[in-house]
Structure 1
Amino acid sequence: MQRFTPERLNSTMDVLRETVLLPHEFAERVSRNREPEIVEDDFSRFQGSLESYAFSLGKRELEDCLIALIQDDRPEMKSVILQILKLRMSPRLISLIRALTQYFYELPEMRKASRLAANSRDCSDKLLHELFDQEKDIIEAAVNLIHQNEEMVSPMITRYRLITGSPFCKAVIRRFFQDGNEESFLLNEDYFLEMIDADSEQDLVPVVINYLDQPWKQAPSRSINRKMLQRFGLPEDEKSWIWADIGTDLIAKYRQWVFLDMMEDFFGLDNRKYLIFSRYYQELKHIGLYHDDQIMVLDFGQFGILNLKEMAEYSWLMEKSTLEVELETLQKGEELRLIHRKTDIEARDVIIEEKSSDILVLNLTGVGKLYVAELMGELLRRGEEIWPVKFKHAISRFREKIY
């Protein structure tokens, strides 16, 4: 007596798969081989009634009929095949048709075959009866079912036993996100993350536009934003052409989300630097990370703020040209130079004593954070000409805040 081994079982299952494919395996195999295969005998064995010919066909020949229905372009051939399928409809054919229709739902002949299957007495399949057995837009009909299920994709996939990698399932999910609201993205985050990874940029353009265009009364998904950054980068990275099809206002919104996320990661959500600098995320032009992400530079255009991760209470505000010199040092992988020269002018000194420098120390301890916030607000209000920094007109307003 032969002993049971997992290897023997696996070998047996492999042999069975070659002879009896599961419906989704059959559909996947057909989808991978889209080259037309003309049925060579052209049903030349057909003698007498079509019914007698149909019942002379074996299992493999009936499966070949399904393949020919997809691949053969001759209308007369398709008509005969549909008649054969109607006569020989069985649970096995119904299963194959429901799988194939999910891969070739746009072919009129497969829709006709699915209606034949749905009308068979052996068919109790919800997908065939409720979706494929109709003339209307089946993608829209499936999306409406998601809306009826509290905007959840997963219950619809489970109820209709959809093949998740099939073109039909992917088209339904894509349309759902293309027309959805912010709740659609938040409740079905995993499906959207998978789309960003798997779909072409051309297919993703309308979906990404809809995601960015939401009013976002709730906070947008950090996971989605990070996945988009990983796939597309920022426009200035020139990593993806997708940004060419997206409006500047939506790009600005996305960039701001990314900047907030980067600051939260670097500083920490409750850190005093994050609480102050995140107020001005809409004014940021760029954020750079250097030295294995131990240094973050916030670029506001006419000035920048350099932060060391190890120093939670101090930063350095630099005039644009001075910052560019220091950035060259960082990009070469060298140690910082300019901030280590004698620099002791703080935001308080600028506001109260009217001092100025191309490098300012931002002291965020105690009342220092109030001076920093006032300095930041004033510089961003000024726009272009901000150096040398003079604050005569800001002193009285600032003292009102303190006293």
Structure 2
Amino acid sequence: MDITEEDIKKLLQDAINKLSKLFDQISIEFEETEEDIIQISDFDSLLHDIDELIYFSQNNRESNWSIIIKLRDTLNKEVQGDTEEKLLTCRKLTAEFLLNLYFIIAGIDDEEKHINSLVNMWNIITEVTHKQYSEKQDLYYKNTLIVEQHRKFEEMTDLLQTELIAFDINLFYCEKLIHFIDNELSQNQLVFHMNLHFIQQFINNSFFVMILTSTKLFSTAKQDKNFGFDFLKNFINQSCKRSDEQIVQSLRKVSGGEVRGLINDGKVLCKEIENIRNYYLAHYDIMKIEQIRKIQLDLKLFNEIYNVSVKIFEILSLKRFHRLDTAYSNLIKFQGFEKIVCQNYLLRGNGLSDVDIYLNHLRKNHLIPKSE
């Protein structure tokens, strides 16, 4: 059934009437939780009218009604980006258009109230649109796993995120400290050599932690034991909505293809350090101690393990972090999954870190420049 211009006038009036009822709510700061805001039924009805106005303005080129022409010109000029961004921008612009009309009709001349109303309405529209698109995402965990397993999946991915952030922190500190030893101490002398003992011990301990973390991440799952990527992959396959053949097939492609290959790559990288874990860290095997002591480790290996782990985690987290909320989604979009999800953002920033401050102290107070 085609929508006539008369229909659109009624729709516009209906939208403005709904906006007038919501105005007192929209114009003040909400104290409810995000979920409460999104579930406001009147706002959902208003959003439906907004979508109808967008559709009519973009698909009825014959309308000469000045209001529709103005809305159409605004949308055509401003809207860019992918599908979700386009819809969000259209909704925001149309909502602003309606709010301006309502202020004119109601005779409201309060710039501060107008700005507050617009910002709060945009925030609601942003979260609602984000939620609606999450429900359409292929392989998004809430669409892929049975509801009863959502909480457990979230706990698992939280744990892996914490482990990867800690892994990266150890890499960051070790890179700084080893660079200092290799590139500055070789050219200088320490006044007090005891100052180097702390650095060496810290590096040793960090290597031990990274060995344990690596072997845990790439351990082979055995029923309810040995949690790691292999365990999470099996959990996803066992907890998916098996009645949906499309989901089953999509997961089969993921777990049986790229993820399996990446996990195998990680296991190969961990093969030698697994011996250190088994024969030296977890238990002493006196028959293999000499063999273990001959193993040479460097940060390059741990960086490779970490990089493979981030790739696996991004796939197996089933877009949970990508669709967490709009702010987090945008951070990942512009700065990458690794930086936002798997690193300490403040530590990796451009400012002076705590280890930089410590090394500057050593440079200033405990280094003797090498004589020419």
Tell me if both proteins adopt one fold, taking TM over 0.5 as the criterion. no
TM-score (norm 2): 0.24
Structure with higher strand content: 1
Q: Which has the larger radius of gyration?
A: 1
TM-score (norm 1): 0.22
Larger RCO (CA under 8 A, 6+ residues apart): 2
